[in-house]
Chains A and B, each alone.
Chain A
Amino acid sequence: MIKEKLKETVDNEKHELTLDDIRTEVKQFEEYYKISSEEFMKLWQEGKFEDTFWTNCWAMSWSFLKKAEQPGVIIESDAEPS
């Protein structure tokens, strides 16, 4: 039972991205493209930025982080119990 629980915890940690992971990812995009996420999103919505799987990921991650910053929301994690 304990072994199973331990395995489940390890699996959750391995397969879960924390908000910090996502912030790091967004920062990498900004550094690579030398543009802030705000500027990127403006161009993205105008259809004026290159459209790849990874830039889609950037747009989704940025929107997700914005939701996480809304007042009153609670962040839930299997990797880092709050």
Chain B
Amino acid sequence: MNNLLEITYFSDYYHYVIGLLDRLGIVADRSTLAKSSRVRAPSIVIGEVRAPRESSFLLESALPFEPRNGIIFLDGSFLRFKETVQVNRRTGTEILAYSYHYQRPGENFFVRFDSEEQPTLDSIRKPKHHLHTSAKPELHLPSTPVELEFVLQFIKANFFS
């Protein structure tokens, strides 16, 4: 599963993500996938990969419903995600922080896997790697670190088979 150590260019990571989405076979629309400009320090490059490209929180706060955006799947469910990615020419790619939010409109269901770059001040109440669910969204449930590939396979296995 872990191909990230072999990816030593940021552009290669971005194309790796496109490949993951295209090979999955359940993606209807990935047109809002985007990357950021990169910050290069000696030997490392840091950038962001995300979908949707634009924040829609202002729009959402004005609407009585939540628009679907991000990666749209064939059944209308969607995945919003954002990753901070560090690429080292020698040691490969590391995801420094992420948020993967999968939502199923009409079912009042979402699950979101989060990981923060900086250690949190209360690791019991808010572990570094945690997840949220629609059952009790304010809870930070402890989680192992996950990657986009795992989240996509999780969605496919649980909702498309």
Q: Tell me which of A53, A60, A64, A72 contacts B101 (CB under 8 A).
A: A53
A residues less than 8 Å from B117 (CB atoms): 60, 63
Could you tell me if B39 and A54 are in contact, using CB atoms closer than 8 angstroms? no
Interface bits A59-82 vs B (CB < 8 Å: 1, else 0): 111011001101011111101100
Q: How far is the CA of A22 from the CA of B58 in the complex (A)?
A: 15
* Cβ distance A58 to chain B, nearest Cβ, rounded Å: 9
Could you tell me if A32 and B57 are in contact, using CB atoms closer than 8 angstroms? yes
**Please, how many residues of chain B have a CB less than 8 angstroms from a CB on the other chain?**
39
A residues less than 8 Å from B138 (CB atoms): 51
* Cβ distance B153 to chain A, nearest Cβ, rounded Å: 20
With A32-B58, A46-B121, A47-B140 as given contacts, are A22 and B36 in contact (CB-CB < 8 Å)?
yes
B residues less than 8 Å from A80 (CB atoms): 37
B residues less than 8 Å from A63 (CB atoms): 84, 97, 117-118
Q: How far is the CA of A64 from the CA of B36 in the complex (A)?
A: 10
Interface centre among B33, B40, B99 (most CB of A within 10 A): B99
Band of interface residues on A? 35 or more
With A22-B36, A73-B39, A75-B39 as given contacts, are A51 and B114 in contact (CB-CB < 8 Å)?
yes
Q: Tell me which of B37, B61, B126 contacts A18 (CB under 8 A).
A: B37
Nearest residue (CB) in B for A41 is: B118
Instruction: List A residues 14-69 near B (Cβ within 8 Å).
Output: 15-19, 21-22, 25, 28-29, 32, 45-47, 51-54, 56-57, 59-61, 63-64, 67-68
Given A17-B50, A32-B57, A51-B114, 12 additional A-B pairs, CB 8 A? A16-B37, A17-B36, A17-B48, A25-B55, A29-B57, A47-B120, A51-B132, A54-B55, A56-B114, A57-B99, A73-B39, A74-B39
The 5 closest A-B pairs by CB, nearest first: A56-B99, A47-B126, A54-B57, A53-B101, A77-B37
Question: What are 10 pairs between A and B in contact, CB < 8 Å?
Answer: A19-B37, A21-B36, A22-B36, A63-B84, A64-B46, A67-B46, A73-B41, A74-B40, A75-B37, A75-B39
